[in-house]
Structure 1
Amino acid sequence: MTPVHFTPASSRGWIAFSTESRVLVVGASVDDAFVEAVWSALRADDALQRSLDLLTGKGLSATPPFALLDWSAVSGSLRVIVRGDVTVALTGAADESLSGTGVSTWIERLLDEVTSAVVTVDGALAAETPALPLVSGAAWISSLTVAVAEPTPFAEPTPVAEPTPVAEPVDATAAPVAEPTPVAEPEAPVATPTTAEIDIEATVSDAPSEGIDSLETSAEGYDYAFGDTMYRSVADAAVRDGSEEAPTAEASVDPVGDHDGHTVLTSDIAKLRGRRRPKTQAAPVQPAAQTVTLVLSNGAREPLTQPILVGRSPSVSQVSGDKMPRLITVGGADQDISRTHVRFVLEGDTVVVTDLHSRNGTTIAMPGKEAQKLRAGEPTSVIVGTVVDLGGGVTLTVDED
């Protein structure tokens, strides 16, 4: 469990919500409905997206200042999103300080090897109390410290030794026990019926003659009473559409056995059903969906599940669609990179890159092709393996997970 400690605020403090893997500090007046909505969003599987949707639900101009921290105990990475008058001081492999003062949207960073993060609310007055733990809950704070735990290495399971079989003691003086000899069961005699036991006359019964005596038979049989009997083969009686050719007489006659050509055989029915039964086709196997990822120069990986804006201090002027863009800050104070330099978006299965009228432009290099410079404001489709160069040694590579 990652320890979180806070210093209470005596005035002008912000409310902080803390769970086992993320912290949200908000500088706004709150009510019961807002508290319940934030608490539900922070405990969801897609907590980052749901929290941003909640904060920006009334538009960017009405979005309150906030600081959102999300860390992973497995990889040890820390994601920090800052907006407004709040500062996050990071300690680790490289100390860094992030502030949202003067930024129209927010600043978002994904960092590795961070050991602690201190969130300080600008202008808040701290109460004269020691730092208090905040594992899971909410409190009004002036500052807050998160001690990010180091990633836990995977431990190999200890093999369990199989039990050694224990030999039963053998009494050498005991006489061996002979196995019982199986006794064959006597076969039941089969009774052979004799001629005296069978009453042949008892098995014969007279057929009813009522109604039959009134009909006189002739050499032609009973056709005089019912008319000539009409015979049709199974193939002729089968219902067929216009496109199906009529079967020949040879096909409808079974050459094997005593077949008069008019009797309905099960083989004929099976053949007719086989002609009319549609052939089943196996459903095509759909390939597993791949997740497109942007690999930054420092090795960080950003999934392209929503539009991404990259620059020295990116901001959002307008939002199109139902997803808020993710902001990635790169380059630091490098003036070769514009504040909002380039945009990445996934349209269907295609990655589209757009240079947002940057100062020094954007260059792309697709696999097996020469590098080319993007036209400002013109969306360009790229493929996996494309390297997008913003200048100043900052690159982003399109990859798949």
Structure 2
Amino acid sequence: MSQDNSTWSYRPGDWLAIFGATTTLLLPASEKARAAQLWDQVDGGSGFAETLDQVLAPGLSVLPAFVLIGTGDGPTKVIVRGAGVRATLTTDDETVELDGSTVTTWVEKTLEGVSAIGVEVGEADRPGPDHLIEGGLVRVARIDFPARTADEAPTTPAAPEAAPLGAPPVGLPAEEPVVEPVDASAEEPVDEPAGDAVAPEEQPATELLDVAAYDAEEDAAEVREDALGPLDTPAEGVEAPPAGISLMDPPPSDDDGSGLVWDEDGADAPPLPPPPIPPAPVPGGPPADATVPPVSGPPPTDHDGLTQTGPATGEFAREKPGIPGQPPAPNVTRPVARLIVSSGDTVEVDRVVLIGRAPEARRFTVTEQPRLVTVPSPLHEISSTHVEVRPGTGADHGSAVVTDMGSTNGTVLVQPGLGPEDLKPGIAVQLIPGAIINLGDGVTIQVTNP
């Protein structure tokens, strides 16, 4: 029987069922702690024999009951153990029932051509629907293969359809309604509308607004006049203007051309400021009373359009330092320290100094040009680019700093008055005159004043 990725059905219960590709294992609820571990084995593809070894590993005496089913290629193998554990196997020729409560160890059966398997554990007759599963870990009371269909599951009566309003109760015969005659003369008179009220059918239709003839300004003027009164009507306590003059007209000017404005008492008011004096005409330019045409386009700027930027040429040209066609000279500062290498080299620290078994300047530009110092390393304990010494900046200005460049065996620094210090890769440390830098392999560097 080959049952790879086949669908089982199960009824929920208390036992733990583990469904794998070719192995199915059922354990009682007391084995919950082992279920997760065994699930990893079964889900990982463990066969019947491998799973049985894992189940029996703690000992048969501590395992009260279990069910193991192997449904891979070949015959079907089933083992049942424990009270209340039953399995039914169906073939084309016979039906075999296994009961785990009849033996002290377990009942095992191997059959060819198994077409159906049913296992009952715990409360197998527990009511409830059957669910489908292809693989996983669930709680069960029984399992079946092939999966139980909906026709095999117990059916529940369908709920009756809701009766319409006014219908008689279900199960009682419907009674014919009794229709009583209606006396037309006994009908109550309809109340007449009181006063001048208009009956609904006599109400006038709502007048629609003529959008084409609507004038918003005229409508706004009417609203303003309704709220404030006519525009030409003076407020209370204000003398009305002479005939022919509206309150909305600008007030008449009392200026007679002499520059003086007379008030009602005859006293002269302060004179108006004189008009501005026009600028004097520019020789060769337009007359003073000429009308200046409007200027279109972007606002004017103070740029005359003739100033140009670019490299200085001619009499303002300056010669560039260095030899034409050759790279510029490296940046060199005043030496801040002197390095005395045990191999015999003496180096001034006026720029970056790289020291190692075969130093390389890969991350530097042409203008920096660090100084490369090669030291011997018979045992290859010194890295190709071991340390870097350079003039310090910021708080370290005026002194030299050393940085381990990620060497394999590390760098030890001994400063005057201090103990040995292992340099951390990429961390610069200020050097004091008299310091000793130990690179290993018998190579040391002494730091002195320049």
Shorter-chain TM-score: which interval?
0.3 to 0.5
TM-score w.r.t. the length of structure 2 is 0.29
| Structure with the larger RCO, 1 or 2 (CA within 8 Å, 6+ apart) | 1
TM-score, with normalisation over the residues of structure 1?
Answer: 0.33
**Richer in strand (by share):** 1
